[in-house]
Structure 1
Amino acid sequence: MDLGKQIFLLIMCLQVFLIAAVTDPQDFAALSAVKSNWQNTPPNWISIDPCGGSWEGIQCSNSRITSIVLSGMGLTGTLTADIGNLPKLQNLDLSQNMGLTGTLPPAIGNLKNLVYLSLVGCSFLGPIPNTIGSLTQLISLSLASNKFNGEIPPSIGNLLNLYWLDITDNKLTGTIPVSNETSPGLDLLVNTGHFHLGQNQLTGTIPPKLFSSNMTLIHVLLDSNQLSGSIPSSLELVRSLELIRLDRNSLNGPVLLDFTGLTNLSQLYLSNNKLTGPMPDLSGMNLVTYVDMSNNSFDASSIPPWFSSLQSLTSLIMERTQLQGQIPDSIFSVAQIQSVVLSNNELNGTLDIGNNYGAQLEVIDLQNNSITEFAQGSGYSKTLMLKGNPFCAKIGSTENYCSLLQQPNTSYSTPPNNCVQHDCNSDQISSPNCKCAYPITGTMHFRSISFSDLGNASYYISLQASMMDAFQSNQFPVDSIALSDPIMDEYDYLDLRIEVFTSNSDSFNRTGFSMITSQLNNLTFFQRPSSFGPFYFTLDNNGYFSGPNKSSNKGIIIGAAIGSSILVLLLLVAGIYAFKQRRKADTATEEAIRLRDPFASWDRNESAGSRPQINGVRCFTFEELKKCTNNFSDANIIGIGGYGKVYRGILTGGKVVAIKRAQQGSLQGNVEFKTEIELLSRVHHKNLVSLVGFCYELDEQMLVYEHISNGTLKDSISGKSGIQLGWARRLRIALDSARGLAYLHELANPPIIHRDIKSTNILLDDQLTAKVADFGLSKLLDHTEGHVSTQVKGTMGYMDPEYFMTQQLTDKSDVYSFGVIMLELVTGRNPIHHGRHIVTVVRMAMDKTKDLYNLHEILDPAISVGNTLKGLEKFVDLAIRCVEEWRANRPAMGEVVKEIENIAEQAGLDYDVEMLSTSASHYDSNEGTSLTTKSSLSTVEVFHILR
């Protein structure tokens, strides 16, 4: 077929399709322009008829596009002004697409019919356009967890139909806008039920004009900003309020609110401010369940009567509030009470819990008061903390309540639903109904809760039932839901892991996936139990549609390809002859290229992008590595993880290596392989694991490293490796690790952020020299930006909270993780234990006026018994600086190195001598065998370069 006939055929096909198309041409042109700036769009977006062709995520009415819902689809790119050319659009949900960045175009204001706008969990930046105020039909505006900066647009005050306003967790600055003669403001939103403005950088006072008696607000969340001044008394005019969060600001002066009119109030957070004057009186607030006024400077006073009068109260948190005098036993007898936290006050006299304490009372924390006696006849057997009181000094720390107690059990996991769970393959998870499947996974973040007993299963059972009812009543393909791992984060938000399992097969199709993730950010979708407050959802970045379960979507992809358009088929037919001819010509050259280019077969369409760029490392053949591992014998396996297996191998010449072999269909696959090979091929430092070579052949991906004989730092701290680490050795390990990280941050060009620093990624060689390992999640740092905008990855417990909130990765994220390792070295504890973070545990126990900062009870016995812990206090000071909440307050790794060197020098430790003597004579306490000898004979030398 000649070229003229091909062009004629193409024109005829286009004409046929344009005549038959259902979609309005203007809408098709606009959506096509938007699509052209996105990657990873749904696979059936290939026809020229979004409405007639049933494009995933697109809904239409009378040929006009009315809804775009693409939540969690992995979209990347920008949102262009073309979106404003969809005048009939009512619903736009692009939430949970971290790859969407750039500014929000002012043309968004052209969508006059828009009712629902959700961009939660993306990476949009810049100012929120003032044109947002033109969306007068808008009911829900959800812009949380992005990177928006600048001021809150006053024009939002024009959205008189708005019910839900959520701009939490951004970088918004300036004051809260209220109306004046020339400009609208948030005070005009009398029909709005939710003001969620927390976790920004708002300054100035809370304007008294913001609140009025004709408002219908339910939730006011202004927490974690930089607001100052007094709490406006106009807040008491909003009688519909159920939740007030003003904590973590710089509010000052007396609290002049009259709470008697706020009869619906359930939760009140005023902690971590600078409030003064009399403690607020909550008498008669019979619906109040949770009160936290900690860390303020109220007038010194005895315990007020209202503490005991709130019959719905579950949690009373009054740490550092200048309370004094005797504690009445009536405070413990409130029927629903679960937690009474009155630590760090001046309470005195005799503690008498009484015999009528509440049946649900789980925690009584009275640490660091002036209690002189304890009447022990109550029989109370739950968590009681009296450490730091004169009573404990008198009797010594012989009683559990006078030492650092075990924390109450906060673990929970949805049990099987009267069935026996199966052993699923490594990628699948067993559901509560005992079906192996690929669930949607992520975290629900609840911004307030009415309870403090995180181990109480009844709350989660009610929540699970409510969510299942919502999904089933809306005929969503959900078989079951699993909830687990409740933990309170640093903002007093409850983080709860969730897994949603499909009822149709073993995995969700793209439409079901998007619907579920969209509704998980929809407050009105679930009839939540009253125990749980407002929430938002963050989706795990687990490559759902690119991992092993992608085969379950094959039918969708095939169906989309078949039904997309006759045009595509005709073009394929027209070009097939040319393709075959071209293929014959190329086949011969491809083989030759592959022989001299190990990455000739690299798939450029993979998410890993272009082929790796490497230098200075050896390319092994598959047969070479097969031979040196005895055909990848199980006897040579020294590690197993999500990426694959690690084998011990002996190269020709006798060199021992560790070979990391990716399993077929690994979720990380090309991305991790490329990242590690590119980074390690160009960085060289004695405190970084060295890359010897690689293999990329026959669908195999293998990385070959130097062999590290003494396993991970985690194994040595825990005692699993049989190696005991004294204080001096731990200082040396900290210094080695810090030097490795400082090299990555300050000497590598461009700088490298590791992103997964943890004790299992610090390896110890036969001299116990520490080496940083596992660069699969690492990122290069842009000098101009100072950060990398990326989806959150890492390990819970070590993860930088500011990175988790902002999705901005910096070198200070590694500093935070390193600070956690420093605290591990001191305490020997896991980062998260019984629902409490090691940072919180150390901070609560620290008393700088006492020897070793009063940390005796939480120090690792391996370093605290029979040793002089020179420099420990300065080491802990440095660790606490490393784990500061905001990265600006953390030191750089270069500073960390210098400070640890100074600590070692001031402590009089000669590490060069110590290192030699240790390798020669350090003994395993269990075996009685010298470390050097033991290392040379070991056949199970663990090399953990796996996460």
Structure 2
Amino acid sequence: MPFCSFLFLLCFPLFSFALNQEGHILQAFKRSIEDRGNAFSSWNATDPDPCLWNGVTCDEHRQVISLELISSAISSTFPLQLCKLPHLLYLSLYNNTFHSILPPAISNCTTLEFLDLGQNLLTGSIPSSIADLRHLRYLDLSGNNFSGRIPPSFGQFPQLEAFSLISNLVGGTVPPFLGNITSLKMMNLSYNSFDPGRIPPELGNLMNLEVLWLTGCKLQGEIPDSFRGLKNLILLDLSSNNLTGVFPKALTELTHVTQIELFGNYMSGALPDTFSKLKALRMFDVSMNNFSGPIPSSLFELPLESLNAFENNFEGSLPESMAKSRSLKEIKLFANKFTGALPVDLGKYSALASLDISNNFFSGSIPENLCAKGALTEIMMINNLFSGELPSSLGNCQSLTRIRLGNNNFTGPVPENIWGLPDVSLLELTNNTFSGKISKKIGNSKMLSMILISRNNFSGTIPREIGSLKNLVEFSADHNKLIGNIPDSIMKLNRLAKLDLRNNKLSGLLDHRLYAWERLNELNLANNNFSGKIPPAIAFLPVLNYLDLSGNQFSGEIPHGLQNVNLNVLNLSYNHLTGILPSYFERSMYKNSFLGNPGLCKGENDACHLIHSSKSGGRGGEEKECDEEGGCLWLQRSIFVFVGVTLFVGAVLFHVKYKTFVKTRSLNIKSKWIMTSFQKLSFDYDDIVDSLDEDNVIGSGGSCLVYKIVLANGETIAVKKLWPELPDDCKSIDLENNCTEVNAFDAEVMTLGEIRHKNIVKLLCCCTNGECNLLVYEYMPNGSLGDMLHGIKKELLDWQTRYKIALDAAEGLSYLHHDCVPPIIHRDVKSNNILLDAEFGAKIADFGIAMTVDISKVKTMSVIAGSCGYIAPEYAYTLNVNEKSDIFSYGMVILELITGRRPTDLECEENDLVKWVRTTLEGKGLSHILDPKLDSSHQEEMLKVLNIGLLCTNPLPSDRPPMRRVVTMLLEVRMDCNSMIAWRKGRLTPYNFEDSENAA
């Protein structure tokens, strides 16, 4: 008996710790999963209670009813064994890397009520058997690669309340049978590859629907009147489609709706005056359409919190009833044709937070009570017809952060307190008739990064207090009546990138301490009364690109070191400069840079020849007088005789050459090279062609070879040799299958031949002979960022260098997107297309698939162009391309700079670098992301730059910041903690970017 008792005690632990059936099923699931995030660390087979395991939830009977493994870094095909759990109601595998097809046998999960498979890598058609899950209430298949059509069986769901299919590759048209799912409360089909089609009127049968989201579904035609049946609708988003027709009165009968978004369509006509029923409306966005007529007064009598009706063709006055809206928080009516004055009481009754009415025809003055509630943060009125003086009450609005009043007819002095508002970062008063002085209180506005007061009548001196604005990036005060010296304190502004004081009455010497302007890109002091020598320190400004000191009284010699500065624009004309012009400036691009300096000459054969002034210049010098009587007359006669003989000989030679050319034209035309130059060159095509041998090849691609050629004069150039593409090799085809883009050679020439920027690679010339094409560039000795970052020289890229590269590339893209007319989209931004000069300055290269676009529109391509790993997700799904595609690619470059990993790194969750960075950052911290080659002492800066990269790679294109804003954020990275308050308020986190391009 004791022996039996002993055996019972030995066996008792086996029974006590044995897994139940559900535990065995979960363990089988665990074994089938590739777990890279340690998600199953608590799933211990010796623990008999799976209800205590991570992600598992049980009911009161200890039965598994829920499995939630969100963002767990797990990978597998769909785990059908989970369908064996007899009581499973809730299954969420959101944001992992489940792949392959979704098997039809998923219908075996008969108990499921909630199924979330969003943000995975599932492919193939959506199985129609999902509709057999009769208890299913929530279905999320978003962010996968499903293709084909929505199965007709989906119209038979008996209890489905939420259905999301956002960002897949689903085709066909939006099916009418979805109108049969009368239990639906939320449906989101946005960003798929639907064929063009109308909105099915049957969707109006969804009487329980609360959220309908059909963004980017290629919808066309009118919004059906049947939508009046959506009595419970709260949110309607039909944006970024091809809808036409007028704004339907049916939508004004949706009494529960809080948000209507119809932006980015082709709707027209006037808005109906029947908005009074929409008592719950909080947001109304009909931007980027063709609406016209006045804004109905009934719209402004609503308790709106956000109004965004911009970029249409609205006309008419803003009604006085608008001022009676006591809940009005944001007014955004920019880029329309509104007229009339603002309501006198606007802002008096409501805590107005943002007012943007730019680009209209508003007139009158600014209402006195605009900031009566003390909540106004932004006032943007650029490009209107406002007049009168600014109300003094604005100076008491301590909440203001942005003031944009440019291009109006404002007059009088700016109230003193406005100059000193503590949180204002942008003050724009350009192109008005403001007068008076710049107040000394400007020193209190510590957050100021941009002061734009050009083209006014400001007078007096520049206050020395401006030197306390440590965050100042741009100070543009040209075309005013400022006098006196530039205060010494400005020399301390080491973040200053642009200083434009031209066309004033400033005087004095230029301080030699300007070398502190280490970020100065543009310096323009033209047409003032500055005197003395040009400080040699100007040659030590590392990023100076634009220098204009013309129309002053500068004297002495040109600093010799200035020829070492990479200047795209240089103008020292009409001063009193003397001495010999440095030989570097004897180039055609500088031929008008030194006019009107009588004592300046250029050296030639040990002689000094005066530089002649332009006859059209107002301050030109005079030619050197003859030393001997009659010398000039003899010289002139000799020149005439020489020219005459030369012309005669030239005519004879031309006649002979022309006959020879006609005879041999048909025989050797393919061997003739045609050379087009974009800079002054010291070589011709023979120097290039003779050096195109195998020994000089330094790189190759699918359609080109790249050569490094050292010319006889010691200059080094890079030559890209391309072979002509066949007509059917067009980079993209429009929807009518017509070739719309030129080949790589023409695209590169058309783009780089026209633009100039320090961060865009310089195209010197191009050559073609009918058989192959040559593109000749400045040589970049450090090669591409990709080769440097992933090659043997990786240790040369410390954090300071990588930050500079990120900033340089951002400035180059910002120039393409914002400063070129029309804007240019690169379409292939990647580390291999960012070249590095001897000082590791970055320049964007390879414009073979670049295209000009209208930023306000979306261009649809028929094929994907770009490089794997850098292509924006919406481009892959919808083939829609705009500047947001470049911004995503740039964000990938930032992640590559910080992690040291390629976007296609096999260790990064199915090659998804963004997902790997996000999950690792949240789970393990920054130290597990950083490139081991980087010094960890700069982690704070690295994290801020990483956040910018994550912003740029946001899956929603509208949430990616414009490149101009990216440049500003990068410049702000190195501000001290006190100056980063606004940055840390949540406006610029990786998951919430609210600043629009217009605000930027």
Question: Which of 1 and 2 has greater Rg?
Answer: 2
Q: Identify whether the pair has TM-score above 0.5, normalized to the shorter chain.
A: no
**Shorter-chain TM-score: which interval?**
0.3 to 0.5
Task: Give the TM-score normalised by the residue count of structure 2.
Answer: 0.42
